[in-house]
Chains A and B, each alone.
Chain A
Amino acid sequence: MFGHSGQAHGRRGLLALLLLALLEGGTAPAGANEQPLRVAVAANFLPVAERLSTRFTRQTGTPLRLVSGSTGKLYAQIVHGAPFDLFLAADEARPRRLVEEGRARGAPFLYATGTLVLWSPRPGLVDQTGGVLAEGGFSRLAMANPRLAPYGRAARETLQALGLWSRLRSRIVRGENIAQAFHFVVSGNAELGFVAASQLLSRGEEGSRWVVPERLYSPILQAGVVLTAHPAAGRFVHFIRCGEGREIVREGGYRVAADPAC
């Protein structure tokens, strides 16, 4: 009987140790330098951010942890205390608001300017002038949710500028972010959609496309902001704005302006 309870004790002790080990592994930093840099990334920028992350980690040894979503959703998460060190948004407004609310460190910085593309995997569906929108030879047009995603906002502005917003409204399917909108089109569930140039580039997509002229929508100025005192945050920002990262961003399908901070 005693032996029995001793065994039970031993087993319970082992279980407790195991639990402790699991908890420890999850929370305790192995060393300040190895604490990964947690970056909230607007969905359109994720493929490029992954490339940036690989290169940066190879150079500095600091691992990155990327979390992607719509800019609006990530903003809401940060407001509610999500543990991100850096926010790479798809607009300027939300990083600026975080600074105004005292949730950020330092000023927002511009890291890329995005390009909106009307795209279909079907060759010949989208013409060089976007006339397909007025002709209406499709049943579903995908875009990101304009309330949450800057690329969705740009898509809505484009349709409004063309005077087609109210006519096409019932055919629009809204992805929760630009990645979902892209997936709707890639999977063939929507014939065409407003996507980011960077998404097409990163997957080497063919099909037919219309690069939406910039006069039809207000520019997609993608800004970022540092949120914590993580030692690697500043270095990573410098890497994107001035270092090798800049070229990766450009190759990824974005415009990068000359940065006075470099």
Chain B
Amino acid sequence: MLSGADLAALQVTLRLALITTLILLLLGTPLAWWLARSRAWFRPVVEAVVALPLVLPPTVLGFYLLILLGPEGALGGLVTALGGRPLAFTFSGLVIGSVLYSLPFVVQPLQTAFSTLDRRLLEASATLRAPPFDRFVSVVVPLSRSGFITAAVLGFAHTVGEFGVVLMIGGNIPGETQVLSIAIYDHVEALEYTSAHWLAGGLLLLSFLLLLTVYLVNRRWSVAHP
């Protein structure tokens, strides 16, 4: 069934997707809030940048990341100067790549949720003298619950489905940077179809269940709050 290397790939994939999703929720929430509320002239610029990973081939991202993370690159050079290891071919490097790659999948659903919020509720809570952070946690978050769930599931699923970027900056190290999609690719290229079937079929099922969750949650939410 699943070999030790396959299980390691599964573990790396889940860990990568989980960490990436958490980081994206932390960074993406204020960004999406700003995008939903700001009237700054450069907002479209930021929106376009956020959406770039949707249209760029992963090779573009992978190429620039390799340069950026390498020992002579801006980020890689900084880390090396601080005494760290260069980031390419490391799990941390993959996290950086995945955060960029899955950014729009988290930011866009959040932005949509925030921009459809009823402003009067926020104003009401402001008149009750709730401090801004408290307002956000006790009013905005519950009202945008389906947006958060959609963002988290899509960010997670999209990271699990990552291939091109990892192929370019991962280095295929078992237990560290070998993710499921790469392991499947290797199995197929080596004509090991049984192993490929196990992994590919499992991934298909997992992705379907994740997406189903999103749609079920969104439906229940819209039925409960028409």
| B188 interface residue (CB < 8 Å to A) | yes
| A17 interface residue (CB < 8 Å to B) | no
The reply to whether A79 and B71 contact each other, CB–CB distance below 8 Å, is: no
| Residue in chain B with minimal CB distance to A191 | B71
The reply to whether B70 and A187 contact each other, CB–CB distance below 8 Å, is: yes
The reply to whether A76 and B188 contact each other, CB–CB distance below 8 Å, is: yes
Interface size on A, residues (CB 8 A): 23
Taken residue by residue from 60 to 72, chain A's Cβ proximity to chain B (1 for < 8 Å, 0 otherwise) reads as: 0000000000101
Taken residue by residue from 182 to 223, chain B's Cβ proximity to chain A (1 for < 8 Å, 0 otherwise) reads as: 000010111100000000000000000000000000000000
The reply to whether B85 and A189 contact each other, CB–CB distance below 8 Å, is: no
Residues of A within 8 A of B171 (CB): 140, 142, 173-175, 184, 190
Residues of A within 8 A of B189 (CB): 70, 72-73, 76, 147-148
The reply to whether A148 and B85 contact each other, CB–CB distance below 8 Å, is: no
Taken residue by residue from 58 to 91, chain B's Cβ proximity to chain A (1 for < 8 Å, 0 otherwise) reads as: 0000000011011110000000000001101100
| Residue in chain A with minimal CB distance to B182 | A176
Kindly name the residue among B71, B85, B167 whose own CB sees the greatest number of chain A CB atoms within 10 A.
B71
The reply to whether A145 and B71 contact each other, CB–CB distance below 8 Å, is: no
The reply to whether B190 and A188 contact each other, CB–CB distance below 8 Å, is: no
Residues of A within 8 A of B67 (CB): 187
The reply to whether B186 and A172 contact each other, CB–CB distance below 8 Å, is: no
| B125 interface residue (CB < 8 Å to A) | no
| A170 interface residue (CB < 8 Å to B) | yes
The reply to whether B71 and A189 contact each other, CB–CB distance below 8 Å, is: yes
Task: Give the A-binding residues of B (Cβ under 8 A).
Answer: 66-67, 69-72, 85-86, 88-89, 167, 171-173, 175-176, 186, 188-191
Q: List 26 A-B contacts (CB under 8 A).
A: A70-B189, A72-B189, A72-B190, A73-B189, A76-B188, A76-B189, A139-B86, A140-B86, A140-B171, A147-B186, A147-B189, A147-B190, A170-B176, A172-B173, A174-B171, A174-B172, A174-B173, A176-B172, A184-B89, A184-B171, A187-B67, A187-B70, A188-B71, A189-B88, A189-B89, A190-B171
The 10 closest A-B pairs by CB, nearest first: A173-B171, A174-B172, A189-B88, A73-B189, A173-B89, A189-B70, A147-B190, A188-B71, A188-B70, A148-B189
